[in-house]
Chain A
């Protein structure tokens, strides 16, 4: 403690650092997020065939998301805990509202039109579900007892099913994993984890039965993309060609031929990693993964330093979900996971996921910068 005080005296913090500290910003995390957003613009510029409009729209969203992150970083984590149940309930209500409104509209309905912008309740649920589960488990001694596990399980399954019904497989997967993350960090016994994994594997045929045709097609395509090269296998084949042709060093920025020639569909949204891999090669890919890992490590570090159970569980779960995001997206683009609609976090074009992700990081920063007493 003394050394810290001394170091402050001898090395006065820089002006920017001082401002960031007052803003309750965690500098390492902020730098990581800033770098990756910068990278996002660089790739988007190339993936969108140098469309400045796309960049401007994305810049507006990222700006808004960073602003929201700063605001959330200011909020005392105690407040998150206090309103966890309320926010979760509100999120569920909105989800049901979307489903009911969807009955009147055509096909999938995922958002509520609030006039000035479209709000996706499923995005909010991505954060409020781990909040709720963390809040519930923190009320009891850890590790959770079977009864608490059951209740926590129900709390996770309800929003997951509601979103799966929209249908939005990708988001429901993320919500489920954010809740499961909390359970894992709360000390769910390994034996139980094994049992659940075994049961889920056993239930695959039943799950298959409940899947929609297009979801089944995706799984089949994943298993054998060459079976339907013009239709559904097209994405994966083209994406693999783009990545593989990138080689070790890549073709250089703006050098992607696959997305330039429009072979690669959805090159600026879900499949942006393929463009990145083609242009920056294996080095770039590993670099990007390292950058993601650094951000995740910092988040896990923040979780380990958190002072109460709720903060720990929430922080660690948010970090874990962020990883699931990265893993599922890259996994599907390089052809090791089936295609589910999950964007590459902080890099894919599209606003809603960026706002949610940075909100999560805002909460993490709030947890880290609102310590009641200094660490030993």
Chain B
């Protein structure tokens, strides 16, 4: 029975299946007819419409490239703008023998092989009918030469384009940055629609951080063209929205003063307006000329920049990491007062070296023979190392780490530039995780005078100084003014709630650094009607052997100490905070402090006039 049932079932199954095949076929026929109906609609009913769009008068959708926003300094001086420039451009599609044309152009205008290579690379990435530049920013002579020979070069023409221009060249290169040709990686990550027609994109600096604002919004025009592709009529267009103009907090004249003051040294100067956090000076010397990057820097020139000993492409103010040296002492001193680890009047005896209990090692003071008996003020004024060795040991690394962290050491300052380095504020935990080692007391000592593992960037140091000058209200540096927001409605600053008495005693010690006869930076305190508070620092680049005598002149220049200086002024109502780092500059007091002095005097001098 069951077998019969199965057979019958098979028959039912077969019939069911055949029905389904027929049903499927009908569905397929119906859907295909649907496609045909749509095709008839497009190709017969809409034919004329689409033919107008495509064939005789094809509508091209042309992107309308917005002009890039201009970058100004705080007084409206132009840091980056767009200038007219003439370039020699080729349309590969219209050239019969491209190789021959290139060869003849090369002879005519003396074009380097490298430029030809660059052109070939770019050509392959572009459409055959797109105009591709071979020579950018042509000189008048080149334009004249080509103009005469033009009839012999079909498909080659001179085009006027807007090219980004940086009038201050190396002075602001590390702040403003530059734009360059969009490379393949960027082409993938950028929004295609917005960049159809744009050739450049911000690579570093403000140009990079504020790319979206500066670039603007691409518009488009539907252009009717004839058979030759010549535009005859604009059917419809959506105009581009030009990029926003940016106003920086930077003062380019002050920047120039700082840059010139660094003279032949490599180094960085950062100045912050304390009330707002606006960055007034952001100098990294040497800078570089960003203009060649815009038109495509030659390989040789780029290699030269890359391999130069002075590393001009290296943004020291943002990415340079240095031991803060003695500039850390005011912060350590303040930590001692805040934690009640020491009183301001407490005196310590400095014999010129410090010893940990039961350890023979001498932690030496910079002054052989020592400073004698000193209190906090004297220790900061004379930069006594032994006093701070002792204080560091009392505080311990945990409290130091905790306190310094509040001032932004070991974390990015948050300035609106890409690529900032975090620096390093060591802690027990860090050493265990990174080095798998316990923390040693000796390391606490040298951290107390800003040596050892500790690494800070100039912008961090300037920020910490501004926060100190601001009486513990944390300053966050920025470069671009948000023009819509009045300056007094800036985001509320985090307050560290420090004891005003403690701050005042540290500040008065820092005033003594400049205005006391024993001060390490007394040279800059003359001829001014206000007071500057500051602290010098000298950061060791290499370790001196125990008891070895050393003479600065004997040491290879590259191994000479870095000179540092932090300061703010006027001391009673601080307006500007300045951090200076001079690589291999030697002493902070004699090399770094005068640079800060020039910046402060110029800033406050012009402000007084206002």
Contact = CB atoms under 8 A, between A and B. Distances in A.
A185 B47 contact: no
Classify the interface of chain A: helix, strand, loop or mixed.
helix
Interface residues of B, number: 45
Contact of A248 (B13, B47, B222): B47
A244 interface: yes
Contact of A330 (B18, B35, B47): B35
A247 B51 contact: yes
Interface in B181-221: 191-193, 196, 218, 220
Contacts of A281: 43
A244 B20 CA distance: 36
A304 interface: yes
A170 to B, nearest CB: 18
Nearest to A316: B21
Interface size class of A (residues with CB under 8 A): 35 or more
Contacts of A282: 39-40, 43-44
Interface string A273-288: 0000100011001100
B54 interface: yes
B53 A230 contact: no
A352 interface: no
A245 B32 contact: no
A251 B43 CA distance: 12
Nearest to B29: A293
Given A142-B13, A184-B20, A297-B25, A244 B32 contact: no
B458 to A, nearest CB: 34
B61 A230 contact: yes
Contacts of A320: 24, 28
B39 A286 contact: yes
A244 B48 CA distance: 8
B55 interface: yes
A296 interface: yes
Contacts of A323: 28, 31
Given A184-B20, A277-B43, A330-B35, A261 B129 contact: yes
Interface in B13-45: 13, 16-18, 20-21, 24-25, 28-29, 31-32, 34-36, 38-40, 42-44
A341 B198 CA distance: 28
B570 interface: no
Interface stretch (A23-31, A149-157, A234-242): A234-242
A110 interface: no
A336 interface: yes
B598 interface: no
Contacts of A289: 32, 35-36
Contacts of A319: 24
Interface string B46-77: 11011101110011110100000000000000
B161 interface: no
A230 B218 contact: yes
A375 interface: no
Contacts of B32: 289, 292-293, 327
Interface in A175-223: 184-185, 187
A272 interface: no
B128 interface: yes
A242 B54 contact: yes
B53 A309 contact: no
Nearest to B128: A262
17 contacts: A142-B13, A230-B220, A231-B191, A244-B51, A244-B53, A244-B54, A245-B54, A248-B47, A257-B58, A262-B127, A277-B43, A286-B39, A296-B28, A304-B17, A304-B21, A335-B38, A336-B38
Interface of B: 9, 13, 16-18, 20-21, 24-25, 28-29, 31-32, 34-36, 38-40, 42-44, 46-47, 49-51, 53-55, 58-61, 63, 127-129, 191-193, 196, 218, 220, 222
